């Protein structure tokens, strides 16, 4: 398989990190590049979770480029709602001669709201993320992100929406794998 940037996008709690971890577990050499985990490597990240994102995204782009340049695949579980920011990541794949597969993971709003509230917050990254979301408005923030993502990516031919409502992790993973292995997403510019 050609080197590929697989971007799992979606609102908080949709299952991006869970699916990325499961996906790379069965694919040797693939990189699960969780930007939220990179945040935790920067001193003071818990004091300003959001601002630390601007510190680590350039690091993530460098890691993506290095891995793709080596002919390997990167899985990026990251909410990217800003089209300009997304283009930076797509451009990293294009520059490396790699394919870009954008997958927007989606759930019905009531399920999504429940999922972010019920996710495991025993780890410091998810705990910090949930504190920020709760402080900013909780369910309304999560559902706002989901709607913004739906609107932003509906017209993009390089992003496929995958509805995962009612599916367990293995079933959702099956849809993701099917899309990567033979779906509609294609290399940018072809």
Predicted local distance difference test score (pLDDT) of residue 189: 26
| Residue 177 within any structural domain of the chain | yes
Question: Binning pLDDT at 50, 70 and 90, where does residue 155 land?
Answer: confident
Please report, for the domain that includes residue 72, its CATH number.
Answer: 3.40.50.300
pLDDT tens-digit readout, 110-122: 999 999 999 988 9
| Residue 91 within any structural domain of the chain | yes
| Residue 187 within any structural domain of the chain | no
Q: What's the rounded Cα separation, in Å, for the pair 172 and 163?
A: 9
* Spatial CA neighbour of 102 closest among 155, 61, 57: 155
Can you tell me whether residue 26 is helix, strand or coil? coil
| Residue 162 within any structural domain of the chain | yes
Question: Binning pLDDT at 50, 70 and 90, where does residue 1 land?
Answer: low
| Residue 129 within any structural domain of the chain | yes
Residues 6+ apart with CB under 8 A from 39: 45, 49, 52, 53, 55, 56, 125
Q: What is the mean pLDDT of residues 99-104?
A: 96
Domain count of the fold of the chain: 1
Predicted local distance difference test score (pLDDT) of residue 149: 96
Containing domain of residue 39, as a range?
A: 4-181
Asked if residue 174 has pLDDT above 60, the reply is yes
Asked if residue 183 has pLDDT above 70, the reply is no
| Residue 121 within any structural domain of the chain | yes
Q: What's the rounded Cα separation, in Å, for the pair 75 and 67?
A: 11
Question: Binning pLDDT at 50, 70 and 90, where does residue 190 land?
Answer: very low
In the predicted model, what is the mean pLDDT of the chain? 92
| Residue 186 within any structural domain of the chain | no
| Residue 189 within any structural domain of the chain | no
Residues 6+ apart with CB under 8 A from 120: 126
Q: What is the mean pLDDT of residues 146-156?
A: 93
The two structure tokens encoding residue 151: 């609107």
Q: What is the mean pLDDT of residues 120-125?
A: 90
pLDDT tens-digit readout, 65-100: 999 999 999 999 999 999 999 999 999 999 999 999
């Amino acid at each position: 398989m050609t080197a590929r940037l697989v971007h799992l996008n979606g609102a908080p709690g949709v299952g991006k990190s869970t699916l990325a971890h499961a996906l790379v577990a069965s694919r040797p050499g693939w990189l699960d590049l969780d930007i939220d985990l990179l945040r935790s490597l920067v001193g003071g990240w818990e004091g300003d979770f959001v601002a630390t994102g601007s510190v680590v995204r350039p690091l993530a782009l460098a890691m993506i480029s290095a891995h793709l340049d080596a002919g390997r695949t990167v899985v990026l579980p990251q909410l990217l709602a800003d089209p300009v920011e997304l283009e930076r990541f797509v451009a990293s794949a294009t520059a490396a001669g790699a394919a870009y597969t954008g997958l927007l993971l989606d759930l019905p709003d009531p399920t999504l709201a429940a999922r972010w509230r019920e996710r495991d917050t025993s780890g410091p990254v998810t705990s910090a993320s949930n504190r920020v979301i709760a402080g900013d408005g909780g369910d309304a923030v999560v559902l706002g992100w989901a709607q913004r993502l739906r609107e932003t990516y509906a017209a993009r031919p390089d992003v496929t929406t995958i509805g995962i409502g009612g599916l367990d992790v293995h079933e959702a993973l099956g849809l993701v794998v099917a899309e990567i292995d033979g779906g509609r997403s294609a290399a940018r510019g072809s």
